[in-house]
Structure 1
Amino acid sequence: MKQCILGMLSLLAFPLSLFGQITDAQKDSLFIQEVENQKDPDKVLHAEPLYIDLIRDLGARKGEREWNIGMGLTDNLSFDSYEALIEYEWAPMDRLGLEVELPFTLHSPLAGAESEIPSHRLNSLKVAAQWTFLVNEQYASSMAIGYINEFELSDFNNFARPLIIGNVYNPFLVIAKRWGQNFHSLLYTGPQIAHHYASNQWHKAYEINTSFHYMISGTRNFLGVEINKSIENQQFDLSLRPQMRVAIADNLMIGIVAGIPIKRENERLSSFLRLIWEPGHPQKN
């Protein structure tokens, strides 16, 4: 276990060797300056959580864009769930981020389990927008509001009969703060209101997601944890998601997330992998 931890830390810190004799203070501010030194518009560097991610960077600048491919595995009581997603996000103007996402879920029964498993499905078509209304470089803080609309789709056994079976409305608020050069905190919160057309039933939940990260000096790599909390029907669910992000190339990163349910009835351990490609990210000489 000790060797595994040391290996992860060496992988995260590896790019620092490329800086040679650069001082620690210069390393601490190198990537922050790369992001923030443009005069217009202002932007503060924040570490973005990997599981419940943002629509676009806070303080997004026009022309930024990003592709995400995610894959995950959740161990439920009687079956395994395999998640996959394809996501595209872009900034058509300063401080405005837009996103389109297609999330899939496949299921596999556990050995000896007798209960029926859910059908495989393309869960929904998700479209979203996020507006950063506050960027304060002096206090290294940003705030944004956003909205996700999720058109729920029928499972593969009943696909297109009908095609859209419900809708989820999800407004949210984001507050982020960087503490010094390396430490980052973020709050992502808002209600989820789901309307299922066939039964005309409404389900309401409230999410409170907090995250804390340490970004390795002079790199885009970080270690951190998400604390995902939800309240629904007077029940409280809580999951811890320790995570790390590693830059493979200047415009390509990989995020690794583990899920540890603290208070959740039907879910056990989970894992999630996110591949992040920024085709518009400037290449270094």
Structure 2
Amino acid sequence: MVKIVQVVFLSVWAVGSVWAQIVPGSEGVEKEVLDSLFVEEVENSRTPDKVLHAEPLYIDLIRDLGARKGEREWNVGMGLTDNQQFDRYEALIEYEWAPANRLGLEVELPFTFYSTRYGDTNTQAPASKLDGIKTAIQWSFFVSEKWKTSLAVGYINELTLPVFKQYGEGTFFSGNVYNPFFVAAKRWGNRFHTLVYAGPHYRHQFKERTVHTEWQINTNFHYMVPGTRNFIGIEFNKELEHHNFDMVMRPQMRVGISENLLIGIVTGIPLNRQNHRLSTFLRLIYEPREHK
């Protein structure tokens, strides 16, 4: 309960910060000008073309759509999920960069830790582990400032690892996840953003020699605060497996702390609460200055 209260407090503070910038006042015309100038700075200050998009915070992309050579980004993420009998903590560190125009690469280390509820001696929580080693590539093959649209394809490869206590027992890698994906994003005017991210997940278990397939289809809607990179929105993470369907709604916001440091705050609300309940996720985003 204390954890949930802390998360709610942080979320309310962030909502207040963003809302204060959204509510129109006598300076409405000035905000319109700032909005246009900010879009102009992102899109037209350099070549090749790049469209400003609000991108999801939970299932994030591999660098920006239409990334320009030299762009870099560090991400640190922390999350908590209530699984009824135990709590699941997730953490990640990732580095993204663009070695060429419209090409993004990423390396990520995701961790998962579990703990039982205080005083619960009957529940056995899963073992903690480094989930795997993720590498990814994304190519923006269509970028149109005229249509305010970007299209991209990509591929994520994750070599999965066993739990910590099984290190040294058998092979180091327990399996592999193959994940090709497609992204389509469009900005409507200067403030409203939509994005679709979809693709199959093929989970290959080396020992069992099995391949498990599921589809992920993620849709996103965001409103970006005029003249800033701050936004509020929602991410719908949907999974399809055979005849089963599951979805988690993730209201979210991003707030700029400084010129190159942002924080993203995400709340997870599952459609099916049989296995888990509410969750929260925080993402720190640091964009180093580009080398001249």
Q: TM-score when scaled to structure 1?
A: 0.92
CA contact (8 A) 1:239 1:264 kept: no
Q: How many equivalent residue pairs?
A: 278
Report deviation, 1:14.
6.0
* CA–CA separation in structure 2 for the residues paired with 1:247 and 1:25: 19
Report deviation, 1:154.
1.1
Unaligned segments of structure 1, at least 5 residues: none
Report deviation, 1:115.
3.2
CA contact (8 A) 2:51 2:144 kept: yes
Report deviation, 1:38.
2.7
- Cα 1:29/1:10, change in 2 over 3 Å: farther
- Cα 1:30/1:160, change in 2 over 3 Å: farther
* CA–CA separation in structure 2 for the residues paired with 1:227 and 1:29: 29
* CA–CA separation in structure 2 for the residues paired with 1:136 and 1:35: 14
Report deviation, 1:15.
7.0
- Cα 1:101/1:222, change in 2 over 3 Å: same
1:272 to 270, 278, 281: 281
CA contact (8 A) 1:238 1:264 kept: no
Which SS does the other structure have where 1:144 is aligned? strand
2:157 pairs with 1:154: no
Which SS does the other structure have where 2:50 is aligned? coil
Deviates more, 1:161-170 or 1:34-43: 34-43
* CA–CA separation in structure 1 for the residues paired with 2:273 and 2:180: 24
Report deviation, 1:159.
1.6
Aligned to 2:205: 196
Report the AA paired with residue 126 of structure 2: P
- Cα 1:33/1:185, change in 2 over 3 Å: same
Report deviation, 1:116.
1.9
- Cα 1:113/1:269, change in 2 over 3 Å: farther
Q: TM-score when scaled to structure 2?
A: 0.90
2:39 pairs with 1:32: yes
CA contact (8 A) 1:213 1:224 kept: yes
- Cα 1:32/1:113, change in 2 over 3 Å: farther
- Cα 1:273/1:238, change in 2 over 3 Å: same
* CA–CA separation in structure 2 for the residues paired with 1:173 and 1:7: 34
Aligned 1:83-232 pairs, distance under 5 A: 83-111=90-118, 112=120, 114-161=122-169, 162-232=171-241
Which SS does the other structure have where 2:74 is aligned? strand
- Cα 1:234/1:29, change in 2 over 3 Å: same
Which SS does the other structure have where 1:246 is aligned? strand
Report the AA paired with residue 11 of structure 1: S
Report the AA paired with residue 129 of structure 1: I
2:18 pairs with 1:12: yes
Deviates more, 1:189-198 or 1:39-48: 39-48
Report deviation, 1:189.
0.1
* CA–CA separation in structure 2 for the residues paired with 1:68 and 1:260: 23
Which SS does the other structure have where 1:268 is aligned? coil
- Cα 1:14/1:63, change in 2 over 3 Å: farther
* CA–CA separation in structure 2 for the residues paired with 1:98 and 1:257: 24
Aligned to 1:72: 79
Aligned to 2:69: 62
**Structure with greater strand share of residues:** 1
Percent identity between the two aligned chains: 56
Report deviation, 1:11.
1.1
* CA–CA separation in structure 2 for the residues paired with 1:4 and 1:57: 27
Which SS does the other structure have where 1:23 is aligned? helix
